[in-house]
Amino acid sequence: MAEPPAKKARTCRMNINELVDVEWEKKKLSEIADAPTTALQGIAERGATVLAKFRPGAKTVRDLGRWKYYKMAKAITGFSEFEKAGKRKDGATLNIDKAVDKEHEHKSLEEIAELPPSALEGLAKTADAPLKEVFGVKTIRDLANLKYARWAEWITDLAECES
């Protein structure tokens, strides 16, 4: 009986080489997601150390893509684009009290987006300086737009779609 023909290797042109260090360019998304944050191009040991210090810390690409402070910042900033100044209805109960420090609970989403990252519940004021120094993040809006967190989120999301 004849051998079945060998499967032809699948040719795929997709890559994310501009986002990851050279050693990760041939890896699967799931492998990159489980890698340390230094697998992302531009995050050196110094950046990885800063991200790992937070509680919860972001030690892997997956951690960074799911990092609660990034997710909160992204949601606040996203919602702020649709907020109508002075249009809150009487009796409205919408709030994000568990996302921001008590002193900021009464503020608009736009105002909150312009606060330092430490205005997020659970992120200490000591986080502001290293986030600014290492990543240029001065506001919650900046955190929402942190390219490394976006890349990590995309990698993590699509890693679930690999065969």
Residue found under tokens 């200490």: 124
- Contact call for residues 120 and 96 (beta carbons, < 8 A): no
Summarised one tens digit per residue, pLDDT across range 85-127 is 989 999 999 999 999 999 999 999 999 999 999 999 999 999 9
96-102 long-range contacts, CB within 8 A, separation 24+: 96/72, 99/72, 99/75
pLDDT of residue 138: 98
Q: Which two tokens stand for residue 92?
A: 């409205």
pTM, full prediction: 0.91
User: First and final CA of the chain: distance in angstroms?
Assistant: 31
The rounded distance, in Å, linking the Cα atoms of 69 and 12 is 35
Summarised one tens digit per residue, pLDDT across range 59-95 is 999 999 999 999 999 999 999 999 999 899 999 999 9
